[in-house]
Chain A
Amino acid sequence: MSTDKLKLYEERKTRYLKALDCGKPDRVPVVITGAEFIIKFAGFTLQDIYYDPEVNYFKAMDAFLQRFDVDAHFGAPMLWWGGLHDAVGAVYLKFAGRELDVNTQFQYIEGEYMLPEDYDAFIENPTEWILTTFLPRIHKEFTEPGSYRANIALIKGAIARAMELEVLAQAAEKWAKEYGSFTAITGLSKAPFDTLGDTLRGLKGIMMDIRRIPEKVKAAMEVLVPHNIYYGLATAGGDTEFPVFIPLHRGAFPFLNPKQWDEFYWPTLKRVIEGLWERGKRTLFYAEGDWTPYLEKIAELPDKSIVFHVDRTDMDKAKKILGGRFCLKGNVPNSLLSIGKPEEVKDYVKRLIDTYAADGGFIVDSAAVLQADSNPRNVEAMIEAVYLYGKY
């Protein structure tokens, strides 16, 4: 790495880590959580990104990092490689260029891929249940387990995943060397309720289950706690400097009422976060939607164990209840970044910094993941405003 890029990398990292630790760095850090925005800005189709890792990890990110001077980012714009999904015949994602127009965002086909009668086998041994029951349901190539096609698909899927991780490692090295840049997170995990409610039972299934078979739901979530801690740590490759990403879904108000939230959502999520923190790993509590009613409960977590990302949660209340003990991150509205004017974006960022960042422990970011409709001029204005008003 050249001396100037190494210096830049170290400056940004020191700034970011200081803010995560509720401290006051030289300036408020600015992070971009970019996805389809990066693709559109870089001039590629969504099919290019979903299907060509060279475009996803290198070409699109080159264009993005050359233009946007951010302290940290969320890595390549697309998490899912179409080639890997085709190798196994994954049935729940539709991709641009395959079933969808080349510029249509991927679609997730939610379903009850786990059935109510699967709970016992899942609880007994979730890893085995996923391999023997869940994967054949979501992977068309596994329809006849043990067949030639199924065996080929299993080998191909695992190889594809290893290839994808290798490309990611090479890309991370390039981002650091050429741009002094890094990803804001290492590793991924989930709230146990979301593990069940997102990909396994689906929203309809889990909402029925908490009424009909609540004890099974609780037992399954108990089983998930150590797995979700382990998955977060293992996917971070042992790193404990940067937070693990936990995107939070069904816990946003009002998917569950507060009583259900207290009973089903929070206890096991809290234990996952505490378990990670006991092992030195902080969580990026990516609170999509509105979490205002739950702030007092979230404040029960150990100091500094999370970075609380604000989307539509009341920022005043978040600051009052969590500020000083947890770093806050957010929340430039995506609507403003799409249809606002650059001056309006700058005014919003100035207000954010003036009102919430004075004591440190604050990071500027968009409220939610940036979509293709974000205006590059507005994203640039967001960054410029941080440089202009964010110095301590």
Chain B
Amino acid sequence: MTGESPKKNVFKNLPPGVCIPWEEKLKDLGEIKGDVNTIKKEWDKLEMFTYLYIWYWVHR
């Protein structure tokens, strides 16, 4: 591990439970024709599970 340069982060100061901010995803999705909250709710749910999996390897 010695001599390895730290990788540059893509995001800064993300709150707990967030891996990729919804605002970023929204840019990719473009115009939402239906209810945005329905889509966001599912996104947030999967964000949380992904976050918990990543942190699982630290909290042991």
Query: Which residues in A have some Cβ–Cβ distance to B below 8 Å?
Result: 79-80, 112-113, 115, 117-118, 120-121, 124-125, 127-135, 137-139, 157-158, 161-162, 188-190, 195, 198-200, 226-231, 234-235
CA distance A117 to B8 in the complex (A): 12
Cβ-defined contact, B16 with A227, below 8 A: yes
Cβ-defined contact, B16 with A231, below 8 A: yes
B14 → chain A closest CB, angstroms: 6
CA distance A235 to B58 in the complex (A): 14
Which of these, A124, A134, A198, A231, contacts B12 with CB under 8 Å?
A124
Known: A125-B12, A133-B7. A189 touches B59 (CB 8 A): yes
Any A CB within 8 A of the CB of B48: yes
Residues in A whose Cβ lies below 8 Å from that of B55 = 127, 130, 227, 231
What are 30 sample pairs from A and B whose C-beta atoms fall under 8 A apart? Answer: A80-B60, A117-B5, A117-B6, A118-B6, A121-B7, A125-B11, A129-B6, A130-B54, A130-B57, A131-B19, A133-B7, A134-B57, A134-B58, A135-B54, A137-B1, A139-B57, A157-B53, A161-B53, A190-B59, A195-B58, A198-B60, A199-B57, A199-B59, A226-B16, A227-B16, A230-B16, A231-B52, A231-B59, A234-B17, A234-B52
Closest B residue to A164 by beta carbon equals B56
CA distance A32 to B52 in the complex (A): 27
Closest B residue to A200 by beta carbon equals B58
Within 8 A of A (CB), among B19-57: 19, 48-57
B52 → chain A closest CB, angstroms: 6
Cβ-defined contact, B16 with A229, below 8 A: yes
Known: A124-B12, A129-B9, A198-B60. A112 touches B17 (CB 8 A): no
Known: A125-B14, A157-B53. A234 touches B7 (CB 8 A): no
Cβ-defined contact, B52 with A127, below 8 A: no
Closest B residue to A115 by beta carbon equals B1
CA distance A120 to B5 in the complex (A): 12
Other CB < 8 Å A-B pairs besides A121-B9, A128-B19, 20 of them? A115-B1, A118-B6, A120-B6, A125-B9, A125-B11, A125-B14, A127-B14, A128-B9, A128-B10, A130-B57, A158-B53, A195-B58, A199-B58, A199-B59, A199-B60, A230-B16, A231-B59, A234-B51, A234-B52, A235-B52
Cβ-defined contact, A124 with B4, below 8 A: no
Query: Which residues in B have some Cβ–Cβ distance to A below 8 Å?
Result: 1-2, 4-19, 48-60
Which of these, B1, B10, B17, contacts A230 with CB under 8 Å?
B17
Q: Which secondary structure characterizes the binding site on chain A?
A: helix
Known: A133-B6, A195-B59. A234 touches B54 (CB 8 A): no
A155 → chain B closest CB, angstroms: 11
Cβ-defined contact, A128 with B16, below 8 A: no
User: Of residues B1, B48, B55, which shows the largest number of chain A Cβ atoms within 10 Å of its Cβ?
Assistant: B55
B19 → chain A closest CB, angstroms: 6
Residues in B whose Cβ lies below 8 Å from that of A124 = 9, 12-13
Cβ-defined contact, A128 with B60, below 8 A: no
Closest B residue to A85 by beta carbon equals B57
CA distance A227 to B16 in the complex (A): 5
Residues in B whose Cβ lies below 8 Å from that of A120 = 6
Which of these, A117, A161, A228, contacts B56 with CB under 8 Å?
A161
A132 → chain B closest CB, angstroms: 5
Residues in A whose Cβ lies below 8 Å from that of B17 = 230, 234
Residues in B whose Cβ lies below 8 Å from that of A157 = 53
